Chain A
Amino acid sequence: MSERNPMPCGHGRLDRYEIRLQGQLDESWSDWFEGFTLANESDGTTTLTGPVTDQAALHGLLRRVGNLGVTLISVNVLRSRQP
C-alpha cells in the first residue's frame, strides 16, 4: 500500500470500498453488486471490493446487501490502494 499515489486506472476521485459479509457468495454476483470484486475468505466471510461514485451509491449498495438477508460485518474505505 502506498499513500503517495492517487488511484490507478483513471478512477479519479472515486473511493474504493471494502465490504465484508458473513457467509460466502460466488463471483457470479459481481454484476448484481455493481461490478464489485467478490472474494471468499478463509474465515467463511466474503469481501466485496470496488469503486463507489458517492455516498448515495454506497448506501444503495448496502441496501442490496441488506435485501439479501446477509449479515454485514464491516465497511472500510480504501482511499489510495495500489494493486
Chain B
Amino acid sequence: MAMPVLATKLFIPRLRPGAVPRPRLVERLREGLQSGRKLTLISAPAGFGKTTLLSEWIADAQRRDPGVRVGWLSLDESDNDPSRFLTYLVGALQRADPGIGSEALPLPLPSFEPALTALINDVARSPQEIILVLDDFQLIEEETIRDALVFLLDHLPSNLHLAIASRSDPLLPVARLRAGGELTELRAADLRFTPDEAAAFLNRMVDLELSADDVAALEARTEGWIAGLQLAALSMRERSDVSGFIQGFTGSNRFVIDYLAEEVLQRQPDHVREFLLRTAILDRLSGPLCDAVTGQKGSSEVLESLERGNLFVVSLDDRRHWYRYHHLFADVLRARLLRDRPDRVAHLHSLASEWHERNNLPEDAVTHALAAGDFGRAARVIEGAIPAIRKSRQDATLLRWLTLLPKDVIDRRPVLGVYRAWSSLASGDVEAVEPRLRVAEKALAATTDDGTPAHDSAAGDELRMLPVTIAVYRAAVAQARGDVAGTREQAQRALDLTEPDDHLGRGAAAGFFGLAAWATGDLKAGVRAFGEARTSLRLAGNLADVLGTTLVLADMLVPLGRLREAQRSFEQALQLAAEQGEPPPQSTADLHVGISELLREQGELPTAVEHLAASEALGEHASSHENRHRWFVAMARIRQAEGDFDAALGLLSTAERLYLRGFFPEVRPIAAMKARIWIAQGRLAEALAWVNDQGLSAADDLTYLREFGHITLARLLIAQHWSDLQKGSIHEALGLLNRLLEAAEAGHRVGSANEILVLQALAHAAQGHTPLALQSLERVLVRAEPEGYVRLFTDEGAPMAVLLQAAAARGIAPNYVGRLSRTFVHGEGATIQPIPEALSERELHVLRLLATELSGPQIARELYVSLNTLRTHTRHIFGKLEVNSRPAAVLRAEALGLIQHLV
C-alpha cells in the first residue's frame, strides 16, 4: 500500500457559473495583494462563501496578471501530522512552480525550520508571483504546524502571498500583522450578502422574480448568511406557493439550517434522500465509493445531478470524479443519519473502510474502521500500511492511530506492539520502550494448543523480521542511554538473528555495532562494522544510506590516520552517486564536504574550496539534516588555514546552530573547535572558560569521546605557558599529552597520535628542549608523510616553521620537510633569512633569558627592570626576528646561532 498525495486536496475550486459576483470584496483582496501585504485572512463560520470568494479573487488576479501562480491546499483533520502537512504544502507550491522543493525533503523532521528554510529559498528563487491558499485552516490544531506558519510569515519571500480561510480565527500573530498593515481581513460581517446581492442571488437561483419584500424578509431571516439563502432558494424552486414558504420560514423560530435542510431534503426523491444520508459519512465522494456504501449502482450520475442541482456538492477535480459535500450540509446530513438510522452508521463506515482498503487508500480505510468501532479491522489495515507509512515518515499519523486502538488489540499484534515501542523511542520516551517490547515479544512467542501462533499479526516480512527489529530497537535504546556494552550486545543479537538475505536488518545491526565501537574509541572495529553495514545496505539497494555510511567510515578513518583510504571511499561514493544521474541522491553534497576536509588537510585549499562550492551548488536537498553543519565546519577550517580567524569563528557559530544530535557520537565538538581558534588568537580567557565549563582537566581519565576536548586543553596549557609563562602549565601539558598519546596508540588512532605528537614537539620546544621536540616531530613526520598530511603542521604557524627548519638542518625527512616548509604562507618563516637589523647586547641578554623556563616577572627581576620595560624589549626582539611568539623567537634565535641551546 502506498500513501498517495491526493490530488483532490490541491485542486483549485472552479468558480461556479452563475455565482453572484462580489466586486466589492474582490477589490479589497486585490488591493491587499497589490500593496504587498503578507496575509489575507478570511475568517467566518461555515456557509459564508469563503471558498467561493477565494476562487473568484484568484480568477480575477490571474485574469489581470497571467503570470500569477496559485498553490491551493484544502486541509483536513489528518493534516495535523507535520510530515503530511509539509508534503502537501510542497505539493501545493509545486502546482505554482514545479521547481519548488522538487527533490524529496529529508524526513522525518527534527524541526520544521531547515525544511521550511529550503522551501522558502526555493520560493524566493522562483520567478513567479505565487498565492498560496490554505482553505479550512480551522482544522489545524497541531502547534508545530502553527509554529511553521509563523516562521513562514516571518520569512515570507516578497513573491509569495499567503491566504487563509478559516471558520475560526487562527492562532497566528494576526494582531501583529494587523497592526503592521500586513493583513487583509474579511470577516462574517463583510461576507454577508447585502440586500442587493441577496436579490441577485435568489433571482438567479430560483428563476423567478421575487418581490423586494420577499427578498428583504429572507435576507433578514438569514442575516445575509449565504448558505441559508441557498437552502431557501432550493426550497422555493419549482414550488407553486413561494409566498407561503417565505411566510412559514420567516415566521419560524427554528434554526435556519434545521428548518431549511428539512425542506430541501423533503423535496428530494426517495432514492436521492437515501443516497444523501448514507453517503453523509464520507469526507470525499466518488461514484464507485458511493456505489459500495449505498449498495446501489449509478452513484456517479447521482453525484453529477446533485452538482448540477446546486445541492451543496463541491467538485474536487476537473474530471467529475471526486466530490465532497459542503461542510455545513454534511453536518446536517450526518445529524439526520444519526437520528433516522443510528443502527446503520457503523455498517456504513465498515463498507467505506472496505472500499478504501481495496483501493489502496489505507488512511481512509483506517479512519472508517475506527469510526465503525471495528478495531480489529483498523489494526489489520494499519499493520499492512506500516511499511508505507514509515517510508513516507508520517510518524504522527501512525502515533495517532496507535493511541486510538484499544490496548488489548495492540497487545495481540506483536507487529503493532513493536511499533508502539518504536513510537515511544521516536518521541524520546526511552523508558517506555522496553516494557512494550516485552509485551510484543510475549505475544510473538505465544502459541495455541495446536502449536499455531496465538497472536493476530499477519504472516509476512514484517512479522518474520520482528525479532531482528526488536533487537535493533533495544540497541537503539542502549545507544540512547550511552550504554555501549548493551548496544554492542543487542546489535550482535540482531546480527545473529538476521537471515542472510535480510540486508536491511544486517545493515542496521552492523551499524549499531559500529556505533558502539566508535563510542569506545575502538575505531578499527567500527570501520569493520560500518564496512559491513555499507555492503548490506548496497545489497538492499538503499543508496542514500550507502552514501551516508561512507561519511561515517571517513569519520573513523581520519582519526585512524588513514586519509588515503578515506579519500578513496569518498571518490567511489561520488562515482556511485554520479551513476544515479539527476537528481543527485541525498548525501551527495555531504560527500563533497567530506572530501573537501581531506583535501584541506593535504594542503589543497583551492580544490577543497571547489568541492565546497560543488556541495553548495547541489543544494540542501542533496544533504541530510544531521550533516548540514559540516559544510560550515569545513569552510571554517579553510578560513582558519588562511588566517582569517574571525570568519572561521562566524562559520563555526553557524555550524553550531545547525548541529543536530543524531545517533553519531560527538567526537569533534564545534565548541572545542571555537576554543582552538580563540587559543590561536590569544583569547585564552575565553578558551579557559570553555574548558572549565566542560569540566576538563589534565588529570581526567581519558576516553575517546573526550579526546578532542583534552587535546584542546593541551593546546590551551601550552599557550598559557607563553602568555604569562605560568609556572607549571607546560608540565601539565606534557603530562596530559603523554597520557593522550598512550591512549591513542592503544586504540590504533594514528591520526589522533599525529596531532598529539605535534603538540608534544611544540611543548618541548616551548621549554627550549629542541632535541626532545625533534624526536617527537620525527615520529610524526615518518607516519604523516605517506598519508600526505600538510595542515597538521602548517596550521601551527611560526613555532612549527622554526621547528621544521631545525629538523631540516638535521636531515630529518628532508623531502617532506622541504615540501611542508614551502607551503607555509608568507611571513611564517619558510626560509631563514638573515635578520635585517642586529639585536643589541641588552636584547641578546633578554633573548637568552627567554630561552629558559623563567616566567616574565622572574626575567624582569633578573634584569632589574619593570615588567613593562621587559615587554618593550621583547617587542623589539620579536620585531627584529620577525616572529610573534616567545617559542618562535627562541627557535629562530637558535637557528640563527644567536643563542646556544641548553638542554
Chain A interface residues toward B at CB < 8 A: 21, 23-26, 28-32, 40, 44, 46, 63-64, 66-70
Contacts and interface: CB of A to CB of B under 8 A. Distances in A.
Given A24-B253, A66-B167, A69-B328, A29 B45 contact: no
Contacts of A28: 335-336, 339
B256 A67 contact: no
Given A66-B168, A69-B45, A32 B338 contact: yes
A44 B251 CA distance: 12
A23 B336 CA distance: 18
A15 B257 CA distance: 29
A31 B46 contact: no
A26 B334 CA distance: 15
A23 B331 contact: no
Contacts of B508: none
Given A66-B167, A66-B168, A68-B328, A44 B253 contact: yes
A25 B255 contact: yes
A25 B254 contact: yes
Given A66-B167, A69-B45, A69-B47, A24 B254 contact: yes
A34 B254 CA distance: 20
A17 to B, nearest CB: 19
Given A66-B45, A66-B46, 4 more contacts: A24-B253, A31-B339, A31-B342, A63-B168
Contact of B255 (A30, A66, A68): A68
B335 A31 contact: yes
Nearest to B45: A69
B228 interface: yes
Interface string B310-339: 000000000000000001100110111011
A25 B258 contact: yes
A71 to B, nearest CB: 9
B812 interface: no
A76 B606 CA distance: 74
A41 B544 CA distance: 67
Interface string B342-368: 100000000000000000000000000
A51 B824 CA distance: 81
A40 B331 CA distance: 21
A21 B255 CA distance: 9
Contact of A69 (B46, B138, B335): B46
A23 B46 contact: no
A77 B256 CA distance: 27
A69 B256 CA distance: 8
A24 B255 contact: yes
A23 B253 contact: yes
Interface in B252-272: 252-258
B342 A23 contact: no
B225 interface: yes
Contacts of B258: 24-26, 29, 68
Given A31-B335, A31-B338, A31-B339, A67 B254 contact: no
6 contacts: A21-B255, A23-B253, A24-B253, A31-B338, A32-B331, A69-B46
Nearest to A31: B338
A69 B45 CA distance: 6
Interface of B: 45-47, 138, 167-168, 225, 227-228, 252-258, 327-328, 331-332, 334-336, 338-339, 342
A13 B579 CA distance: 66
Contacts of B334: 32
A21 B257 CA distance: 13
Contacts of A26: 254, 258
A58 to B, nearest CB: 15
B225 A29 contact: no
Contacts of B339: 28-32
A55 B790 CA distance: 67
Given A28-B339, A32-B335, A70 B255 contact: yes
Contacts of A30: 339
A29 B335 contact: yes
A44 B221 CA distance: 14
A68 B326 CA distance: 12
Contacts of B328: 67-69
A31 B335 CA distance: 7
A64 B338 contact: no
B335 A67 contact: no
B48 to A, nearest CB: 8
A67 B45 CA distance: 6
A46 B256 CA distance: 13
A69 B227 contact: yes
Contacts of A63: 138, 168
Nearest to A32: B335
A68 B254 contact: no
A68 B167 contact: no
A69 B257 contact: yes
A69 B223 CA distance: 11
Contacts of A31: 335, 338-339, 342
A69 B228 contact: yes
A70 B254 CA distance: 11
Contacts of B47: 69
A67 to B, nearest CB: 5
Contacts of A29: 258, 335, 339
Contacts of B256: 23, 69
A32 B328 CA distance: 13
B338 A69 contact: no
Given A29-B339, A32-B334, A23 B255 contact: yes
A6 B258 CA distance: 36
Contacts of B335: 28-29, 31-32
Contacts of A44: 253
B234 to A, nearest CB: 16
Given A31-B338, A31-B342, A67 B255 contact: no
A67 B254 CA distance: 16
A30 B525 CA distance: 68
B348 to A, nearest CB: 15
A68 B259 CA distance: 12
Nearest to B252: A24
A31 B114 CA distance: 46
B253 A67 contact: no
Contact of A23 (B138, B167, B254, B327): B254
Nearest to A21: B255
A33 to B, nearest CB: 8
A64 B327 CA distance: 11
A55 B252 CA distance: 33
Contacts of B46: 66-69
Contacts of A69: 45-47, 225, 227-228, 256-257, 328
A30 B328 CA distance: 17
A46 B168 CA distance: 23
Contacts of A24: 252-255, 258
Given A31-B342, A32-B334, A68 B257 contact: yes
A64 B336 CA distance: 14
B338 to A, nearest CB: 4
Nearest to A22: B255
Contacts of A32: 331, 334-335, 338-339
Contacts of B227: 69
A24 B259 CA distance: 9
